[in-house]
Every structure is written in structure tokens, then in C-alpha cells.
């Protein structure tokens, strides 16, 4: 582009390439003669869609574009920058792909194979030059051929690099051989699997390198038959064969062979994968599964360990022995198992005379003492001599033909219960670290099963104790029910006394002379009533809290594990106790209100925050009865003058009542309204409603809707009385409107924020 601009006498050039990802032209290179730095920066930062700007116009038309002076063109991108830097004429031509030449481009037959645009600018006003336009079309075609050829060359080179990288990092062995069976390629995975370095095997016969001797003749025969007939039954198939490592050992592997599609004599690529680990993993999983079934079949720990021998021998060991720690800390050999029952007597003789000596550094006693596993990959004669007590002991061990050994402790929490010993002999198998992991997993599962059996026995003992304690709690609950009945009787007596006091007060009013004496007498009776209620509430709360506490301790298993039926009994005890505690709390609160001991801390309180706190407490009650409970309001930002705790208590009382007296599947909700001075909060339910003749009395202490209206719902009848007194104490009011059988609306009226006044105490 530098040469083109210099020869033609133009001062600025830009090379645009089509970006297929965004379907726009992107600036790939810029050439300029001296200045025009601002125009260069603007050009490099731009992309052009089809039809936009000078490059986009060339792309859309599929032919060169010549503008003798860009100042004469309206709304051209980069126009202002070009004017400031003194550029006038613009000339641009397309670069065509291989599928399109100049003739087709000028004729308009095909205009979609444009891969780029070259754009030139001059500081002079230049009229169109027909010869330059024709030459530009030919040049665009030649540049397109060069660019696409370069792209194809780069793509092929990248593909070769990627293929080589895949071969290098492949987890499978990739081996390529020629028509004579000689190795041409040997990737790193093949080096790791077979133990031969690439430099050692290139040019060697494949059969002599990785095929065991007993299979080589069949390999040569099949290879020759393919070269003669073109028939290869194993080509393109996945088969399992036996491979041979550099040390002569064999292993199972999965093989797939394919012919490489190249000209000339046939070339083959083999893909191999060692499946020995896969088989070993499958065998281990099956062993552990069978062991788990045995361990879960009994509650007798010793029987578990004995029956485990049928799983282990001969699948994992030729010899299996179990030693357990007894109550006096002595070690007892519980089980000896061998694949050949006739050899068991020899092992028992060894155990009786020599095994588990206190000074032994090998075997079960050492594992129990140290709590560590032992792995002896190969039991050599030197090791036997180090263990043997005398020549006779040595000869007995030699007669067993021991090959390899694993000893693992049976550990439950921080206690070692015993040890399991696995030995190979006739199978000539040598244990390794992976076998040690399997043995430790077997021991871990066995120890856990033994511990579970012990815990089950402890649970049975605890269950019997818990049944005895539950009987005692039932007796205490009966006593509590009696006390509750007495309290309800006292409430009735107090209500009658209150009515009598009211009557006597009215009579005293009519008797002017005795008015003051009657009033004093009534006040004294009210104080006596409040003191009695407070004292009675405190006296009942103390044993009731103790009952709740002990029931919770039993429920969480502090005295031992309990079953589901016992959980149910304890839950019923706790629910009854909590119900009684709620009744007593209502009475205590009423007594405080009556005695004037309630204090208020009036502040600006968010209604939404209060409802959010209440929702967490009443939501479970509503969910238990499948009642839709919606505590959102249409005035979420409203604030009231209230004591936050007292407001929440009123809301809880009203919502709890609404849920209690609403049948399953009903609705409970909140509605809010405001005026210049007050906030009105409605608690709405679809419950049983209140008869018209009872509306005036429901706020009186110890008054409830009749059971015939409200069903068998219990309470003290103090909740609404307390709620109205709390509302009045905060300068507000609590009222109700209801239609029997259609639900109720309780309205809390409180002062709005900014209308604070001192609270009343009663």
C-alpha cells in the first residue's frame, strides 16, 4: 500500500478486511505520507457496515468508488476530520475472492465475494481516471488471490501444528507403522505405557516391541493377509488385546487400528489404552459392595468380621485373619481363613505358638499398638528371618509360601478395636499402595459397622429409660392440666367479682354520700385481683419452664437416642406446655396493665419493618392451616408514632386470633389507610366472625366468643383486652367490625409520624 500510494501520488491509504464474525469491514493497516495522524486514529477506530462510508459503498456496489472532493458529499463518516487535515479526493476499490474476477464484478453478475477494500485519499481535488479504475479492478483480483492463498497456507500450517499437539498430549498411545510393520510414530503416552523411549523404537518392528511372543505369529499372518488381499477384520474395530511392556510384563489393553489415507504403500495408526486400572477399579468396587452387604446384615460385630472372610478370600487375599481387643485389653484371634481349608490348621498352630508377641514389630499386635497400617510388598526370606523366633518358626512360615502382606487397624473414632491381616501366597500377587487403600477402606467400613451395632444396643437401653421418663412426664402433665383447670375457675370467679364490683360502683355513684368509700373499695379489689394474677402467673411459670426445658433436653437426645414415637410424645408435651405458658403470659401482661407498670418508648416506627418482624412469627401458624397470609400494604413507607415492641405485640395478638378463628384454606391480610393525623391499620380475616350482640364485650378481660361460634379454641380471653389497652397507651385506639360467618376487621388507629404526644400509662 505504501508503494501504491507513492507511485500514484496519493497521501493517505487504508486497507480494510471483512470481519465475518461481525459482518463489517475492519481496518487492517494504514499508510500515510507525513501528517494526517488524527485521520489515522479515527480510521483505525472505525468499522463499516455494507453501504456505510467509502469502504462500505465499495462493498455494496462491488466496484471502485471515486470522489473528486469529499467536501461535496453529504454526511460522509470521517468527513470533518478529513477536511481539517486537508484531504479532498477519495478513491477506493474492492479486493475479490478467488470465485470472482473483474469481468463478473463489472457486469454485476456476482458481488458477494468481496474480502476487503483498499482506500486512498489525496490532498488535491482529483477527477476520476478511467484507466486507474480499470487497473484497480485487476489489482483487486490479484490481491484477493494472494490473500486467500496466504490464508490457506496459514490454515494448513495451523492444522498440522494442532494435529501434532493432539498426538503429543493424547492420553491414549498413538503408534504409526509402515507397510513392513516398522514403527514411524511413538507418542509420549506410548512411552509412559510401554516403557520405551521414542528414539529407541523408531524403525523397529512393532510386533517385537509390544506384542507378547505367543501372539506374534498370528500378528504376522494377519498383517501379510491384509497386504495381499486388502482384508483386515480388525481394522476400524475396538478390540481387547494383551500388550507387553519393556520389562516383559503384560497387561490388558484396548486397541483400535485404522489405515492412514495417504498415497503409496499403506500406513497404519494404532490407538491403545491400558484398561488394567479400569478392571482393577471395577473389581475393587464390586469387592467393597459385597463387603458392605455383609457388614449391614448383622448387629453382631464378631459375626460381621467372620463372614467378611467369604468376600475377601480369594478375591483379595489368600489368607484372612482378624484379631480383636477384648475388655481386659488382651488380643484374641477371632477368625482365620484360607482358600485351601487344609492349611488353616497350620496357621492356627502359628497363631497359638508365635503370633502377636508383645515385642513384635509386624502383624496385628503392632498395628493395634501403633494404630498404623503395614504394607509389605514382598515377603523375602530375610524378612521371615527377622520375624522368626527360632528355626522351627522360620520353617513353619516358609511352608506357608507367603508372598505379600497388609495389616490394617480397625479404628472407631479414637479407639482401635482390633486389626485385619491380608496375605497372598498361592496367587503370587504382590500388594501395592492401591491395595493398601482398598484394605483400609474395608477396615474402615467394618469398624463403622461394629460401632453402629454398639450404638444400636445403647439406643435400646436409652429407649427403655426414656419410656420410664416419659411416664413420669405424663404424670406431671396431668398435674399441670389440673392446675390449668383451677386457673380457669379462678378466672371465672374473678370475672364475676369484677361484675359485682362494677355493680357496686354504680350503686355507690347513686349514693352520693358513700361514693368515695365505694371507689376506694373497688380500687383495692382491682389491686388485689392484679396482685393475685401476677403472683399466680409467676408461680406457674417456674415449674412450667422446667417441664419445657427437660422435654427439650430429652428430645435432642441428651439422655440417649429416642425413636419417632418418643419424639411425638415429647412434641405433644412441649406444645401443651407452650400453650399453657402463653396463657400465663397473657395473664401476667394483663396484671401489669392493670397495675400501671407498663412503660412506653414512643418513637417514629416503620409499619413495614414491624410487619416484616411479625410475618416471621405468624407465617408458620398460617402455613400449618394452609391459610393465605399477606402482610404487604399499599402504603409501605408509612411511619407511626408508637412503641415498636408494643405495636408488634398488638399485631401478633390480632393476626394470631385471625388465623386461629379462620378455617383451613381461608385468608388473612393487612390493609392500611392514612389521613392528616392518623394511620389506620386493618387486620382482615375470612373467619367465623363475631355475632352483633357480642361486639361490645369482646374487649373486656376474660371474655371470649362462645364455643358454639368459634369451635373448640382455647385461650384466656385477655389478648384483645391487652391489645386495646396497649393501643390506648400509645395514644391510639383498637376497634372492630364484623359480620357473623363472613369474617372480621380489627382496626388499629395510631398517630402518624410528626404527631407525637406523651403516652398514657393506663
DSSP string, 475-516: HHHHHHHHHHHHHHHHHHHHHHHHHHHHHHHHHHHHSGGGHH
Do 2-164 and 317-430 show the same overall fold?
Answer: yes
Chain CA centroid to CA 255, Å: 40
- Under the banding of pLDDT at 50, 70 and 90, the label for residue 112 is very low
> Any residues with CB less than 8 A from the CB of 230 and at least 6 apart, and which?
none
Domain range summary for the chain, segments of one domain joined by +: 2-164, 170-274, 317-430, 458-595, 603-751
What pLDDT is stored for residue 290 in this prediction? 86
Predicted TM-score of the model (pTM): 0.37
What pLDDT is stored for residue 100 in this prediction? 43
What does 10-78 look like in DSSP terms, one character per residue?
Answer: -SEEEEEEEETTTTEEEEEEEEESS--HHHHHHHHH-EE-TTSHHHHHHHHHTS-EEES-GGGSSS-TT
- Under the banding of pLDDT at 50, 70 and 90, the label for residue 182 is very high
Angle, alpha carbons 533-536-542 (nearest 5°): 135
CATH code 3.30.450.20 for 170-274? yes
The yes-or-no verdict on residue 707 having pLDDT over 50 is no
Region 426-443: what's the mean pLDDT?
89
State pLDDT tens for residues 406-421: 999 998 877 888 999 9
What pLDDT is stored for residue 213 in this prediction? 92
Using the structure block, give the residue that is written with the C-alpha cell 417514629. Answer: 604
- 603-751, what's its fold? Heat Shock Protein 90 (3.30.565)
Query: Strand, coil or helix: what is 673?
Result: strand
What pLDDT is stored for residue 232 in this prediction? 77
What pLDDT is stored for residue 160 in this prediction? 57
The yes-or-no verdict on residue 278 having pLDDT over 70 is yes
- 317-430, what's its fold? Beta-Lactamase (3.30.450)
Q: In this structure, what are the phi and psi dihedrals at residue 405, rounded to the nearest 5 degrees?
A: -145, 140
- Under the banding of pLDDT at 50, 70 and 90, the label for residue 753 is confident
The answer to whether 76 touches 54, Cβ cutoff 8 Å, is yes
The yes-or-no verdict on residue 193 having pLDDT over 50 is yes
**For the domain 2-164, what is the CATH code?**
3.30.450.40
What pLDDT is stored for residue 383 in this prediction? 82
What pLDDT is stored for residue 158 in this prediction? 55
| Burial (0-12, 13-18, 19+ Cβ within 10 Å), 409 | buried
What pLDDT is stored for residue 668 in this prediction? 94
Amino acid at each position: 500500500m505504501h508503494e501504491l500510494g507513492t507511485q500514484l501520488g496519493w497521501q493517505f491509504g487504508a486497507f480494510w478486511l471483512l470481519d465475518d464474525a461481525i459482518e463489517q469491514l475492519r481496518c487492517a493497516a494504514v499508510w500515510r505520507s507525513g501528517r494526517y495522524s488524527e485521520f489515522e486514529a479515527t480510521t483505525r477506530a472505525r468499522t463499516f457496515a455494507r453501504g456505510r462510508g467509502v469502504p462500505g459503498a465499495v462493498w455494496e456496489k462491488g466496484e471502485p468508488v471515486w470522489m473528486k472532493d469529499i467536501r461535496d458529499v453529504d454526511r460522509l463518516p470521517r468527513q470533518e476530520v478529513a477536511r481539517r487535515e486537508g484531504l479532498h479526493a477519495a478513491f477506493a476499490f474492492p479486493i475479490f475472492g478467488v470465485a470472482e474476477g473483474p469481468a463478473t464484478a463489472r457486469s454485476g453478475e456476482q458481488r458477494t465475494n468481496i474480502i476487503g477494500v483498499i482506500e486512498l485519499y489525496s490532498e488535491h481535488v482529483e477527477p476520476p481516471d478511467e484507466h486507474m479504475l480499470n487497473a484497480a479492478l485487476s489489482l483487486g483480483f490479484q490481491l484477493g488471490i494472494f490473500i486467500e492463498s496466504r490464508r490457506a497456507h496459514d490454515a494448513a500450517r495451523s492444522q498440522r501444528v494442532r494435529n501434532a499437539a493432539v498426538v503429543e498430549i493424547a492420553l491414549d498411545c498413538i503408534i504409526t507403522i509402515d507397510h513392513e510393520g516398522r514403527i514411524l510414530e511413538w507418542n509420549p503416552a506410548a512411552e509412559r505405557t510401554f516403557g520405551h523411549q521414542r528414539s529407541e523404537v523408531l524403525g523397529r518392528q512393532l510386533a517385537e516391541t509390544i506384542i507378547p511372543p505367543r501372539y506374534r505369529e498370528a500378528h504376522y499372518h494377519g498383517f501379510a493377509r491384509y497386504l495381499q488381499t486388502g482384508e483386515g477384520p480388525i481394522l476400524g474395530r475396538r478390540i481387547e488385546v494383551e500388550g507387553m511392556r519393556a520389562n516383559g510384563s503384560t497387561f490388558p489393553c484396548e486397541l483400535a487400528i485404522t489405515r492412514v489415507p495417504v498415497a503409496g504403500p499403506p500406513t497404519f495408526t494404532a490407538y491403545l489404552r491400558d484398561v488394567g486400572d479400569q478392571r482393577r477399579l471395577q473389581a475393587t468396587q464390586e469387592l467393597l459392595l459385597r463387603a458392605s452387604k455383609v457388614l449391614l446384615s448383622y448387629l453382631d460385630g464378631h459375626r460381621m468380621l467372620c463372614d467378611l472372610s467369604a468376600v475377601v478370600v480369594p478375591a483379595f487375599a489368600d489368607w484372612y485373619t482378624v484379631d480383636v481387643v477384648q475388655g481386659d485389653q488382651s488380643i484374641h484371634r477371632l477368625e482365620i481363613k484360607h482358600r485351601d481349608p487344609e492349611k488353616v490348621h497350620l496357621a492356627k498352630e502359628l497363631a497359638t505358638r508365635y503370633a502377636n508377641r508383645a515385642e513384635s514389630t509386624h502383624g496385628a499386635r503392632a498395628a493395634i499398638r501403633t494404630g498404623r497400617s503395614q504394607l509389605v510388598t514382598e515377603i523375602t526370606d530375610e524378612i521371615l528371618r527377622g520375624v522368626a523366633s527360632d528355626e522351627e518358626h522360620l520353617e513353619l512360615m516358609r511352608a506357608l509360601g507367603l508372598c505379600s502382606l497388609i495389616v490394617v487397624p480397625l479404628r472407631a473414632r479414637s479407639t482401635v478395636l482390633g486389626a485385619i491381616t491380608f496375605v497372598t501366597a498361592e496367587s503370587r500377587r504382590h500388594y501395592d499402595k492401591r491395595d493398601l487403600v482398598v484394605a483400609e477402606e474395608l477396615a474402615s467400613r467394618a469398624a463403622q459397622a461394629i460401632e453402629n451395632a454398639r450404638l444400636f444396643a445403647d439406643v435400646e437401653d436409652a429407649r427403655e429409660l426414656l419410656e420410664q421418663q416419659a411416664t413420669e412426664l405424663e404424670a406431671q402433665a396431668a398435674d399441670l392440666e389440673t392446675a390449668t383447670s383451677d386457673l380457669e375457675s379462678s378466672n371465672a370467679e374473678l370475672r364475676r367479682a369484677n361484675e359485682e364490683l362494677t355493680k357496686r360502683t354504680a350503686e355507690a355513684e347513686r349514693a352520693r354520700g358513700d361514693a368515695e368509700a365505694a371507689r376506694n373499695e373497688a380500687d383495692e379489689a382491682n389491686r388485689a385481683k392484679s396482685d393475685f394474677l401476677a403472683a399466680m402467673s409467676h408461680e406457674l411459670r417456674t415449674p412450667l419452664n422446667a417441664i419445657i426445658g427437660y422435654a427439650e433436653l430429652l428430645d435432642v437426645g441428651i439422655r440417649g437416642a429416642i425413636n419417632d414415637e418418643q419424639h411425638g410424645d415429647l412434641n405433644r408435651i412441649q406444645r401443651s406446655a407452650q400453650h399453657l405458658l402463653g396463657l400465663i403470659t397473657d395473664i401476667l401482661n394483663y396484671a401489669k396493665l392493670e397495675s400501671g407498670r407498663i412503660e412506653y418508648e414512643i418513637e417514629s416506627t416503620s409499619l413495614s419493618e414491624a410487619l416484616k418482624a411479625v410475618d416471621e412469627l405468624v407465617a408458620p401458624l398460617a402455613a400449618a392451616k394452609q391459610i393465605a397470609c399477606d402482610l404487604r400494604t399499599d402504603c409501605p413507607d408509612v411511619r407511626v408514632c408508637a412503641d415498636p415492641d408494643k405495636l408488634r405485640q398488638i399485631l401478633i395478638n390480632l393476626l394470631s386470633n385471625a388465623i386461629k378463628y379462620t378455617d383451613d384454606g381461608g385468608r388473612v391480610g393487612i390493609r392500611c389507610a392514612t389521613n392528616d393525623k392518623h394511620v389506620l391499620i386493618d387486620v382482615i380475616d375470612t373467619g367465623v366472625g363475631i355475632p352483633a350482640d357480642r361486639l361490645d364485650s369482646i374487649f373486656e378481660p376474660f371474655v371470649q366468643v362462645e364455643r358454639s361460634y368459634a369451635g373448640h379454641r382455647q385461650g384466656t380471653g385477655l389478648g384483645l383486652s391487652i391489645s386495646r389497652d396497649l393501643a390506648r397507651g400509645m395514644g391510639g385506639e383498637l376497634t372492630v367490625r364484623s359480620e357473623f360467618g363472613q369474617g372480621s376487621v380489627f382496626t388499629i388507629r395510631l398517630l402518624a409520624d410528626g404527631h407525637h404526644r406523651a403516652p398514657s400509662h393506663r
